[in-house]
């Protein structure tokens, strides 16, 4: 298992979140350069203890992909779960970016935003592909209801 630092594509985001690479599966073998693959990373919500998210993302291979110059496709899936007692801060922001990873050299990223549904006492995690020009509509969602934590 490797630990990678999520590359922040834009300066207006706060401190980067450390994501742990869980593993990758090759989807297409390439004769030259890295193979195309889907990788799964895990990260804990930086401000709400007890929540862990896993994101799978397609990664472009080939020579440009191996050098980090290729644009990864906007294909991902997100699952967030309660993994311990959840401790909410006094005031939960209505919306906050909790993770961002660059998916091209300059202008594209996958961002995960935490939304707070106070009425239903639920944290919502929304992953979207962001592009400065011609934004991408690709998205994935996961919800974590705030519940008492019991080890069984």
What is the pLDDT, as a whole number, of residue 152?
Answer: 61
pLDDT tens for each residue of 19-62: 888 998 887 776 776 677 888 999 999 999 999 999 988 877 65
Highest mean pLDDT among 15-19, 32-36, 138-142: 138-142
Share of the chain above pLDDT 70, in %: 67
Higher pLDDT, 67 or 91: 91
Domain ranges of the chain: 18-145
Q: In sequence order, which residues have a C-beta less than 8 Å from that of residue 91 and are 6 or more positions away?
A: none
């Amino acid at each position: 298992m490797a630990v990678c630092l999520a590359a922040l594509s834009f300066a207006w985001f706060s401190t980067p979140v450390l994501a742990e690479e869980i593993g990758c599966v090759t989807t297409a073998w390439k004769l030259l350069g890295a193979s195309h693959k889907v990788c799964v990373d895990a990260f804990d919500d930086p401000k709400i203890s007890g929540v862990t998210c896993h994101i799978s993302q397609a990664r472009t291979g080939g020579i440009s992909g191996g050098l980090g110059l290729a644009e990864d496709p906007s294909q991902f899936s997100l699952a967030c779960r309660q993994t311990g007692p959840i401790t909410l801060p006094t005031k939960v922001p209505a919306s906050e970016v909790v993770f961002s990873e660059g998916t091209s050299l300059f202008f594209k990223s996958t961002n995960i935003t935490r939304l707070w549904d106070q009425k239903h006492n639920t944290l919502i995690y929304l992953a979207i592909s962001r592009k400065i020009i011609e934004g991408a509509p690709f998205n994935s969602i996961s919800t974590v209801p705030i519940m008492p934590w019991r080890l069984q």
